Amino acid sequence: MANFPIEAVRGKFPALSLADKGRRIYLDNPAGTQVPQAVADAVSRCLLSTNANLGGFFETTVAAQQVVDEAHAAMADFLGAASVDEIVIGANMTTLTYHMSRTLGRTMKPGDEIIVTRMDHEANVSPWLQLAEDLGLVVRFLPFDEQSWQVEEEALQALLSERTRLVALNYASNLTGSINRVKSLTALAKQAGALVYVDAVQFAPHGLIDVQALDCDFLVCSAYKFFGPHMGILWGRRDVIDALKPYKCRCSSNGLPERFELGTPQIELMAGLTAAIDYFADLGAAAGGGGSRRQRIAKAFEVSIAYENALTWQLIEGLSDIEGLTIRGITDPERIAERVPTVSFTVEGIAPETIVRQMNAENIYLWSGHNYAWEIVHQLGIPPEQGVVRIGIAHYNTATEIGETLESVHRVIAMVRQQRS
């Protein structure tokens, strides 16, 4: 923890020091993170000085195109893509996934099989289920293992067949926090001839993604979960996406990635996206990293993962002495590297919303509910209308904040129990 420049990090995020209604503790990070000043500045600068549509010859349209190109280049560095042509930027992960699923549907026929997991967010389940309904595809559900909290290779192997066309799986769960072994799961799926579509929305803020090493075909993430603006990014392997015919206007470009980017892009948000990626690179540089932007991003993750893991363990340990509280995810300190810092729990006899409402009133921001991890709550037998209490750490949180949060959890649970006794 000692090497992490926490004060410098916090100084870059104006929202962290807002104290109009007392201090705020942001633990709602899996739902959306705060942004550095540089991100807001880049959005504002773009709107105020280079606001134009694309494709012309005058100064502002040329500048706007540069903003778009820079965002694609930044995301290629962030994801380790072989080319900027593989980066598709859109409204959010859900919209991109619905669009790509429809495009892929054009290559599928009745009786083809697809695999979705019981560990994914609905945005990587519903689009495929509805595609299957439209086309007469066979859907196979891949459960996660309730001991390891991960999707196991044997379970995937058991579902693959020569008719499997696609496997949709997540990198890290937005409820349990566990990280899947995407590389080995992908290798299995590819041996069977299936395409692999990876939801990295919850992994992206917490670890370096290397799409080439993973060898998947698609990977999606959302910038607002990693300190950027509200937008989504899809990476598609060049040979795979180049063979696809998306739904699009006849007269719009057939080039890559424009073929998949419908209508006028969110140009100002792309300016913010580049600033978010540069924020990681700057953090890496501040932690002693050098070299290319990607190398500096890698350094940023190296130091932030170590820092986050310490906070995660502080949180897990601090929750473990509460009677009737069950953490729904990995709690073994030896396996801390196999999870992101999102910790969800339930408490016997107390609705998650009751706990969360009281903590929210104390300016501790966190969520209750199923959080769209619809399949997970069903597999675990948790009533979806109740769900869990979810505490989601980001690298700008502190040990003091986790300490205060733990005190609050203890106090609120004791208070509710006392009121009922």
Ligand X SMILES: Cc1ncc(COP(=O)(O)O)c(C=O)c1O
Name the site residues for ligand X (rule: CB under 6 A).
31, 92-94, 121, 123-124, 170, 174, 199, 201-202, 222, 232
Contact 262, 282 (CB under 8 A): no
Q: What is the CA radius of gyration of the chain?
A: 22
Q: How far is the CB of 206 from ligand X (least distance, A)?
A: 12
Q: How far is the CB of 219 from ligand X (least distance, A)?
A: 12
Q: How far is the CB of 124 from ligand X (least distance, A)?
A: 6
Chain centroid, CA 145 distance in Å? 21
Q: Which is nearer to ligand X, 31 or 187 (CB)?
A: 31
Q: Which is nearer to ligand X, 30 or 257 (CB)?
A: 30
CA distance 237 to 217: 5
- List Cα–Cα distances, 20 to 24, 37, 408, in angstroms: 9, 18, 20
State the virtual CA torsion across 221, 79, 68, 201 in degrees, nearest 10: 10
CA distance 94 to 109: 23
Q: Which is nearer to ligand X, 222 or 346 (CB)?
A: 222
Q: How far is the CB of 277 from ligand X (least distance, A)?
A: 17
Q: Which is nearer to ligand X, 5 or 143 (CB)?
A: 143
195-199 and 164-170 beta bridge pairing:
parallel
Contact 314, 341 (CB under 8 A): no
Q: Which is nearer to ligand X, 4 or 260 (CB)?
A: 260
CA distance 372 to 358: 22
Q: Which is nearer to ligand X, 206 or 299 (CB)?
A: 206
Q: How far is the CB of 345 from ligand X (least distance, A)?
A: 18
Q: How far is the CB of 352 from ligand X (least distance, A)?
A: 17
CA distance 320 to 322: 6
In 192-260, which residue ranges form alpha helices assigned H by DSSP? 211-214, 238-242
What does the block give as tokens for 337? 């590297």
Contact 89, 258 (CB under 8 A): no
Instruction: Give the position of tokens 């100002």.
Output: 268
Q: Which is nearer to ligand X, 192 or 200 (CB)?
A: 200
Q: How far is the CB of 178 from ligand X (least distance, A)?
A: 12
Q: How far is the CB of 243 from ligand X (least distance, A)?
A: 25
134: left (phi over 0), alpha (psi -120 to 50) or beta: alpha
What does the block give as tokens for 113? 């099989």
